[in-house]
């Protein structure tokens, strides 16, 4: 089994097991502001809710424990309020009220299409943002407030954030190898898209997580889990899910789809595809190169050479075993073989 120690060390290096003290403080103060201020702001606009009516729900990688280190910490917390969507059709206004509840000098708050984002800066550089998707609980239904602040395109979209949490927790909890593979794939994504400037150019985390769950290949032996082979087979499985078509110029376009497993069952890659057909082809090409390198890592005999191939996929922080150690092991094996 190749690179067992290196993958174990790498996982320890990149994973975030729990919130840092600084992040937890920021989140708890933000949540307290929402509960303290949002009811009064809504009351000013003839919407009555109690502080106890507001539910704050963990979403995203912190919920599934698949968070990895990044330059900017990304946190997702759903804000659920009881609200008649037929009486309050303009989602931009409702999101504006949430923005007003948390807009203080210590935060930079903007209304994005799917959420309200609170960003935190240190020495002029963003180190944390907390995304707050706003949901209306209307009778037995839940709706997500969509739309930017000044956009003419806004709506309440049927949603089931708790159902999505349940779906992914059931897949991931108790499956430590799958959790590691998801983290490795996200690390690959961060490495290969580090220079990207457009949000929709980058494969979304939820898309990679769902595909990893779909294509996960468990690999273990009496020696333990084989993360290299599991990663290679899982990423190859994702690559095989791509289809191809041709554009108006006859050029080949690669594409992949994955619908949410709960309401509204939308394709999580839709925005990526709608933004530019080249984004999907780039995604395919980069994934294909990663699979080639991982396949070479699986097939070579030398741990050092295998490590170099993996490093091309996962970045410089993946430690390649030295050649000398491999050569010494081979020499020892020869000496023991011949007595």
Residues 225 and 305 in one domain: yes
Residues 225 and 177 in one domain: yes
- Domain boundary residue, one of 99, 134, 159: 159
Beta strand spans in the chain (E): 55-59, 73-82, 108-111, 116-122, 125-132, 134-138, 141-146, 155-158, 220-221, 224-225, 243-246, 252-255
Residues 201 and 153 in one domain: no
Residues 128 and 205 in one domain: no
- Domain boundary residue, one of 159, 190, 206: 159
Residues 106 and 173 in one domain: no
Q: What is the pLDDT of residue 199?
A: 78
CATH number of the domain enclosing 149: 3.30.460
Q: What is the pLDDT of residue 251?
A: 84
Query: Taking the complete model, does pTM exceed 0.75, yes or no?
Result: yes
Give me the tens of pLDDT residue by residue for the chain, a chain 339 residues long: 899 999 999 999 999 978 889 999 999 999 999 999 999 999 999 999 999 999 999 999 999 999 999 889 999 999 999 999 999 999 999 999 999 999 999 999 999 999 999 999 999 999 999 999 999 999 999 999 999 999 999 999 999 999 999 999 999 999 999 999 999 999 999 999 998 888 799 999 999 999 999 999 999 999 999 999 999 999 999 999 999 988 878 888 899 999 999 999 999 999 999 998 889 999 999 999 999 999 999 999 999 999 999 999 999 999 999 986 445 555 555 555 544
Q: Which CA distances in Å does 67 have to 70, 73, 125, 303?
A: 9, 9, 21, 28
Cα distance between residue 337 and residue 339, in whole Å = 6
H helices then E strands: how many in the chain? 12, 12
The domain tally of the chain equals: 2
Instruction: Report if residue 184 sits inside a domain.
Output: yes
In sequence order, the 6+-apart residues with CB closer than 8 A to the CB of 281 are: 252, 253, 254
Q: Kindly write down the DSSP assignment for every residue of 100-153, as one continuous string.
A: HHH--TTSEEEE-SS-EEEEEEETTEEEEEEEE-EEEEETTEEEEEE--TT-S-
Q: What is the pLDDT of residue 55?
A: 98
Residues 133 and 202 in one domain: no
Q: What is the pLDDT of residue 336?
A: 56
Instruction: Report if residue 336 sits inside a domain.
Output: no
Parent domain of 128: 21-159
Residues 109 and 137 in one domain: yes
Residues 177 and 144 in one domain: no
Residues 144 and 177 in one domain: no
- Domain boundary residue, one of 114, 134, 159: 159
Residues 320 and 197 in one domain: yes
Q: What is the pLDDT of residue 120?
A: 97
Asked if residue 187 lies in contact with residue 181, where contact means CB atoms within 8 angstroms, the answer is no
């Amino acid at each position: 089994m190749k690179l067992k120690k290196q993958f174990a060390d790498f996982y320890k290096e990149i994973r975030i097991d729990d919130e840092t003290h600084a992040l937890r403080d920021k989140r708890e103060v933000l949540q307290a502001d929402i509960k303290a201020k949002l009811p009064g702001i809504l009351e000013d606009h003839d919407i009555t809710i109690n502080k106890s009516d507001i539910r704050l729900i963990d979403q995203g990688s912190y919920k599934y424990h698949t968070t990895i280190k990044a330059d900017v910490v990304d946190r997702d917390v759903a804000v659920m309020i009881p609200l008649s969507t037929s009486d309050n059709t303009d989602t931009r206004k409702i999101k504006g009220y949430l923005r007003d509840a948390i807009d203080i000098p210590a935060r930079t708050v903007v209304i994005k299409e799917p959420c309200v984002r609170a960003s935190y800066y240190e020495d002029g550089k963003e180190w944390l943002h907390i995304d707050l998707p706003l949901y209306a609980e209307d009778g037995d239904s839940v709706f997500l407030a969509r739309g930017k602040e000044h956009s003419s395109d806004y709506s309440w979209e049927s949603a089931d954030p708790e159902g999505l949490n349940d779906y992914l927790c059931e897949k991931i909890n108790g499956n430590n190898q799958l959790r590691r593979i998801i983290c490795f794939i996200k690390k690959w994504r961060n490495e290969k898209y580090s220079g990207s400037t457009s949000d929709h150019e980058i494969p979304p985390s939820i898309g990679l997580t769902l595909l990893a769950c779909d294509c996960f290949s468990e690999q273990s032996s009496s020696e333990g889990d084989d993360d290299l082979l599991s990663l290679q087979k899982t990423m190859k499985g994702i690559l095989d899910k791509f289809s191809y078509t041709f554009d108006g110029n006859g050029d080949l376009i690669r594409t992949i789809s994955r619908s949410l497993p709960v309401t509204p069952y939308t394709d999580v890659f839709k925005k990526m595809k709608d933004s530019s057909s080249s984004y999907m082809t780039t995604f395919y090409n980069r994934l294909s190169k990663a699979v080639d390198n991982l396949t070479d890592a699986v097939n070579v005999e030398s741990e050092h050479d295998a490590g170099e191939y993996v490093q091309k996929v996962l970045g410089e922080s993946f430690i390649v075993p030295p050649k000398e150690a491999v050569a010494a092991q081979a020499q020892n094996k020869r000496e023991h073989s011949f007595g």
